[in-house]
Structure 1
Amino acid sequence: MARRFPAGTNTTATAPRRESAGRKALGSVRRAQQITTYGVGAMIAIGDQSFIVSGLDSWDVSEADTLHEPRLEGPLGVDHFCLPPAGEADSGRGVKVRRFPETYSCPSCEALRRLRDFGNGRNDNSCGDCGSKLTPSRFVVACDGGHLAEFPYWDWLHRRRDEERRAQHSCDRRRARLSLRSEGRTASLQGIVVACDCGESGSLEGAFGRDAMASLRIGCLGLRPWLGRDGREDGCDRPLRVLQRGSSAAWFPAVASALSIPPWHRRLTQLVERQRRHLLGKTDARIREFAHDEGWLAPGRYSAEEVIEAVRTLEGVAADAERDPDDIDAFAPGSRLRREEYRQLCAETPELPENEHFVCVPPASTEKVSVPGIERTMLVKRLREVRALRGFTRIEPPADSEAGRRRRARLALGPDVDWLPAIEVIGEGVFLTLDPERLGRWESRRGPSSPHARAEAVRHNHERALRSRAEDPLTVAPSPVTSRLLLLHTFAHALITEWSLDCGYPASALRERLYVDDDMAGVLLYTATSDSAGSLGGIVAQGEPAALAASLRSALARVSWCSADPLCMEADASGVDSLNLAACHACVLFPETSCELNNTFLDRALLIGTPDGEVPGFFSA
């Protein structure tokens, strides 16, 4: 049975009413968390119970605010985006959740069974025998195709027996009474013991092994509990892995985002976008008539020609986006969407009333302050970003590859959902590009200790990780890792850490947006968060020449030494899948919500060089 919680700011959990009395909100989360933390298919703990967020088919968005971002709608194949619904607690509206896992245990009498079998009703979280509060199962199983299921306690216990014991002692799965106890002698899985009334007992030691389920011939059943009882997907042959219910590996969001850049930043374009179904594909006469009826042609507003031009521009860009739907799955820092943004960020967009969502200007200061290594600085005084949830993965984070696309789980069961959940955030930032001549000289160096050699080591590890996840290793696309990517990414991390100290922002309130390709070498550092931390101000001021030079010097001095040195600097590999070199939590890693590459592809040696001088740093050259 599905229940609801509104997407709001109050995190107080309340118990559900019985179905006959209507639904009552269980709790609430922020709208942004519906995209990044508790989206469709994610498990959420509310009080002493556990639920999973239901598919989009069940969401009531009849009163939800609609968002439009044409640069995303075409590639994602949707008509519009919706803000996660934020209904009142007793309205019955909001985001549906389903109970998962359904297996609970009693800490007093140690019974282990489904909640409905404890005898106190389907919504009563107490033991029918002793009255103690029940605890949801700590463990679930999942495959990297997104499927999710209850931990198979009975199978784990009974399939471990050898063939002779299995023949002598039969046990009916449906009638077996299991118990779960913690012996307390150790904090490991060896201290968690499962027992059956048939006399079998054993610990959960080894359950987290990569091949633990496969060795017992326990395969994936293709279950998708967030889509209800009809959500099963047959034919999955991916191996199951055991996860803790609250593990970060249980849900990785696949988020697509875009900035509102010219011409989409203008107020007129926003008006046309909101009324697109009445305007797109219509004749000039019909557009002029509609604009007149809406009051857009009133004196001091817009001319009919301006409205018609805005409609035709919207039609053209929408058609271009539909012709290249695979671009949204390309490596983000070098995608077509980023190229469009890069061109606009390099140009000036003045601060005018019509430029509602994008203002980008050079620094106003006339100080002759040199910032070595930086070619261009632009102050983005106003920006709008739309972030949409397009799917999720389990076990492994989303990847920019064909295998990564196949691993992405569906958000809805039916094909008739023409929208995706999204949020819009307003912020400010600073856009920086590196000196191309200096960058070219630095990249061209060769040798065993050159930037190219260090990047090749990371690229080799990345391709190995991609091949291990691909169904056909021969079809894996080349890794996009280059010394330029490692340099720009580490530079962004170093500067964000410095600005979080200078401006008072938490690092989680600042974000990076990379622009990396053969003809792009830029980064946008910005505030774009929907809570109060995104409105402190002060980031734009860091782009003025004197402030930028000072903060860059301080940032480079800070990353030149790490409390984990010399191990950190001399590491041959670090991080997940060995995708980092000189990078750790004591120097350049920060909250993954601020990093678009999940804290991978980092090497501070490329910024400042190695102490022995063998590896040249871009900013030390």
Structure 2
Amino acid sequence: MTPPPARRRRAGTNGAVPAHTLPRRGAVRRAQAITTYGVGSLIAVDHESFVVSGLDEADKNWSTDESRRIHERRLARLLDVDYFRLPPASDDTSRDGLRVRRFPLMHSCPECNELQRHRDFNPPPGQSVCRTCGVDLVPSRFVVACEAGHLGEFPYWQWVHRSTDRGASTAGRCGGKLRLRSSGRTSSLRSILVSCTCGQAPEVSMEGSFRRNALKDLGLTCRGTRPWLGTSAPAQECGLPLRTLQRGSSAVWQPVLKSALSIPPWSDGRADPLAEHWDRLRNLNGRAEIEGVLKFLFPDGSPIPVHEVMALLDAEHEEDPHDEDAPTFDHRYRALRNKEYERLRSGNDESEHSHDEQFVCETPPGDQSMLGPLGVTGPMLVKKLREVRALKAFTRLADPESTTESKEMPLSESPLRWLPAMEVRGEGVFLRLDEDRLGTWEKATAVAARIKRMRAAHQRVLEQRASDPSRLVPSPATPRMVLLHTLAHVLINEWSLEAGYPAASLRERLYAADDMAGVLIYTATSDSAGSLGGLVAQGEPELLDRTVRSAVRRAEWCSSDPLCMETEVSGTGGTNLAACHACVMLPETSCEHNNILLDRALLVGTPDDPHLGFFASVLSR
């Protein structure tokens, strides 16, 4: 038989092949593409479920008009990229958006109870319905993941046939079809029943499938599947234990976010045209070489003078970690924070700079000596700030703050010279604690004892989750870090009541080290709660004095006391002490450390030891 002629695609204008039109499925905000629905995450749209695709094809798919470049040299250097890009717009007029792939592929029909891959239901194009019954298909509620970041389908066949002598290698060879139904007796996993029509295995429930070793007992380990990268990413055997998860669980995807404030001399945007050339310029010696390269790169004239380029290079070298022979990512990130702390302390008056300046930090008017009895010093009004928040990678099963870099899953199969990011323009209040008073307080025996318990608990969590003990990250728990962290939380709660800001629209940025003791609280969203001046006004000495006193007094009592104050184990793995959702915990988007390493007893003391608190003198009056 003569084979049919090859199918030919219709040509577009001037003979060009028309662009492939993909169906639209829902919409997300740009910020959600970084914090909630980033690459590798699962997203539910109506009755369907998808995984957000990787960035390998994003350069071709994302329109430059709808996904413009943004620059923040200090953060780009830290993450070893040239620039960042906003996720594409997602509205009725946009030409493209985030690409997604259907996942999980296993679906069930609530009418005929069949459980099989989506394509085996033979649904009409663009729909997710059972061809036989005409009802909407239900994506599998369960998926499996490992701590290396891989994601896979729940092994229903092995789960049903676990009581037979069939091994995992014979999956699907019994000739039967899987079925899934709910008995309706309870809302627990015991009522979700899976069976096979082969008759060789009894109907089993999903009870026990979430046990830590449930899949290990079946002889199953991770196969290294990465569905967000599609067929271009062949599975590589991973071998780590698999965990069963609910499809909508927060443990399925956790973003690894890194951020930086735009501070002088990078905050006026003049250096942005040189974003892709800084690595080359750093390797040059002397003014003549730099001038020659600039003439080559910009024949029509450099966007900024040579002396400004040299000043920017000097500013870069100042952020290099000088005390480390081979600085790690943590060392470089700490150096970035140190420079921000210096700039927040010194300020940056708006009258001395152009209108394009994105960082304005001024000393508040009024008598700051009234803050002395509180142990608070150096308040600054951050009237303008710009933060760039980039999605570096993601993790599964483990919180990003409690994992090593080796467990971070990249956003693409091949390395990219850019990362998706969002920028926030807002305002904030910066304050510091008195170093002399803080140093005396840190040496107290009771303070050291509480911190030692928290640090030991946090270190155990880190050790349990570390795949490589040699790269174990030490716990950051210190007396001043926990104190500043808890203080930031109670101030955010206070300002959400007094200044009208929702707690989720405020964010903390901690500066805690041997030579740093400060906290910046700033607007963390770019919507109407962003930069209207209400937060900056709270930094004036009179208002700040009243706010700190009120926040400390409010933290003295919790509706869960005495249980909250007297507990010896709280939070994930016992990493908190006197802290719960009724007193100091915040929405996850507002906290840098996922609501761990908190203890309000360090602020207000305990009934047995009221002098334990840093602000005990405020409460005694």
Look up the match of 1:193.
Answer: 193
User: What are the Cα deviations for residues 448-496 of structure 1, in whole angstroms up to 9, with x where unaligned?
Assistant: xx11100000100111111112234465343221111110100000001
Does 217-226 or 102-111 show the bigger shift? 102-111
Residue identity matched to 1:113: Q
The structural deviation recorded for 1:284 is 2.7
Q: Is the 8 A contact 2:404 2:473 kept in 1?
A: no
In structure 2, C-alpha distance between the alignment counterparts of 1:412 and 1:171, rounded to whole Å:
31
1:66 matched to 2:69: yes
In structure 1, C-alpha distance between the alignment counterparts of 2:301 and 2:501, rounded to whole Å:
42
5 Å-filtered alignment, 1:532-571, equals 532-571=528-567
Look up the match of 2:330.
Answer: 330
SS at structure 1 position matched to 2:305: helix
Does 483-492 or 170-179 show the bigger shift? 170-179
The structural deviation recorded for 1:209 is 0.6
Q: Is the 8 A contact 1:327 1:335 kept in 2?
A: no
SS at structure 2 position matched to 1:369: helix
5 Å-filtered alignment, 1:443-592, equals 443-446=442-445, 450-473=446-469, 476-592=472-588
In structure 2, C-alpha distance between the alignment counterparts of 1:21 and 1:364, rounded to whole Å:
60
SS at structure 2 position matched to 1:330: helix
1:100 matched to 2:103: yes
Q: Is the 8 A contact 2:522 2:535 kept in 1?
A: yes
In structure 1, C-alpha distance between the alignment counterparts of 2:27 and 2:408, rounded to whole Å:
26
Residue identity matched to 1:577: G
5 Å-filtered alignment, 1:149-164, equals 149-159=152-162, 161-163=163-165
The structural deviation recorded for 1:368 is 5.3
5 Å-filtered alignment, 1:209-608, equals 209-270=211-272, 273=275, 283-284=290-291, 287=294, 293=300, 307-317=305-315, 329-330=329-330, 335-352=334-351, 353-354=353-354, 356-366=357-367, 369-371=370-372, 372-399=374-401, 404-415=404-415, 417-446=416-445, 450-473=446-469, 476-608=472-604
Residue identity matched to 1:364: P
User: What are the Cα deviations for residues 143-166 of structure 1, in whole angstroms up to 9, with x where unaligned?
Assistant: 01000001111111112x054xx5
In structure 2, C-alpha distance between the alignment counterparts of 1:530 and 1:173, rounded to whole Å:
54
Q: Is the 8 A contact 2:63 2:96 kept in 1?
A: no
C-alpha distance 20-424 of structure 1, shift in aligned 2 (>3 A):
closer
Look up the match of 1:6.
Answer: none
C-alpha distance 518-368 of structure 1, shift in aligned 2 (>3 A):
closer
SS at structure 2 position matched to 1:491: helix
In structure 1, C-alpha distance between the alignment counterparts of 2:281 and 2:325, rounded to whole Å:
23
Q: Is the 8 A contact 1:76 1:325 kept in 2?
A: no
SS at structure 2 position matched to 1:228: helix
In structure 1, C-alpha distance between the alignment counterparts of 2:75 and 2:385, rounded to whole Å:
16
SS at structure 1 position matched to 2:215: helix
Residue identity matched to 2:467: E
The structural deviation recorded for 1:410 is 1.4
C-alpha distance 62-183 of structure 1, shift in aligned 2 (>3 A):
same
Residue identity matched to 1:156: W
The structural deviation recorded for 1:613 is 2.2
Residue identity matched to 1:219: T
SS at structure 2 position matched to 1:497: helix
Identity %: 49
The structural deviation recorded for 1:47 is 1.2
SS at structure 2 position matched to 1:459: helix
Q: Is the 8 A contact 1:399 1:405 kept in 2?
A: no
In structure 1, C-alpha distance between the alignment counterparts of 2:588 and 2:597, rounded to whole Å:
13
Q: Is the 8 A contact 2:404 2:472 kept in 1?
A: no
Look up the match of 2:10.
Answer: none
SS at structure 2 position matched to 1:257: strand
C-alpha distance 325-152 of structure 1, shift in aligned 2 (>3 A):
farther
C-alpha distance 276-93 of structure 1, shift in aligned 2 (>3 A):
farther
TM-score computed with the length of structure 1 as normaliser: 0.88
SS at structure 2 position matched to 1:95: coil
The structural deviation recorded for 1:115 is 1.1
The structural deviation recorded for 1:123 is 3.1
In structure 2, C-alpha distance between the alignment counterparts of 1:537 and 1:592, rounded to whole Å:
24
Q: Is the 8 A contact 1:55 1:411 kept in 2?
A: yes
Q: CA RMSD in A?
A: 2.8
In structure 1, C-alpha distance between the alignment counterparts of 2:56 and 2:275, rounded to whole Å:
25
Does 117-126 or 273-282 show the bigger shift? 273-282
The structural deviation recorded for 1:424 is 1.1
User: What are the Cα deviations for residues 93-127 of structure 1, in whole angstroms up to 9, with x where unaligned?
Assistant: 22211111111111121111111111224532111
1:86 matched to 2:84: no
User: What are the Cα deviations for residues 224-259 of structure 1, in whole angstroms up to 9, with x where unaligned?
Assistant: 000112324424121100010110000010011101
Look up the match of 1:15.
Answer: none
In structure 2, C-alpha distance between the alignment counterparts of 1:512 and 1:562, rounded to whole Å:
22
Look up the match of 2:6.
Answer: none
Q: Is the 8 A contact 2:295 2:302 kept in 1?
A: no
Q: Is the 8 A contact 1:25 1:90 kept in 2?
A: no
The structural deviation recorded for 1:29 is 0.8
In structure 2, C-alpha distance between the alignment counterparts of 1:110 and 1:320, rounded to whole Å:
65
Residue identity matched to 2:73: P
SS at structure 2 position matched to 1:590: coil
TM-score computed with the length of structure 2 as normaliser: 0.88
SS at structure 2 position matched to 1:465: helix
In structure 1, C-alpha distance between the alignment counterparts of 2:611 and 2:460, rounded to whole Å:
25
C-alpha distance 221-74 of structure 1, shift in aligned 2 (>3 A):
same
Q: Is the 8 A contact 1:256 1:328 kept in 2?
A: no
The structural deviation recorded for 1:292 is 10
Does 312-321 or 239-248 show the bigger shift? 312-321
Residue identity matched to 2:21: G
For this pair of structures, how many residues does the alignment match? 582
Which structure 1 residue ranges, 5 or more long, are not aligned? 1-18, 297-305
Residue identity matched to 1:221: R
C-alpha distance 571-61 of structure 1, shift in aligned 2 (>3 A):
same
In structure 2, C-alpha distance between the alignment counterparts of 1:115 and 1:369, rounded to whole Å:
67
SS at structure 1 position matched to 2:530: helix
Which structure 2 residue ranges, 5 or more long, are not aligned? 1-17
C-alpha distance 433-148 of structure 1, shift in aligned 2 (>3 A):
same
SS at structure 1 position matched to 2:259: strand
User: What are the Cα deviations for residues 547-591 of structure 1, in whole angstroms up to 9, with x where unaligned?
Assistant: 001111111111110011111000101111111000000000010
Residue identity matched to 1:257: S
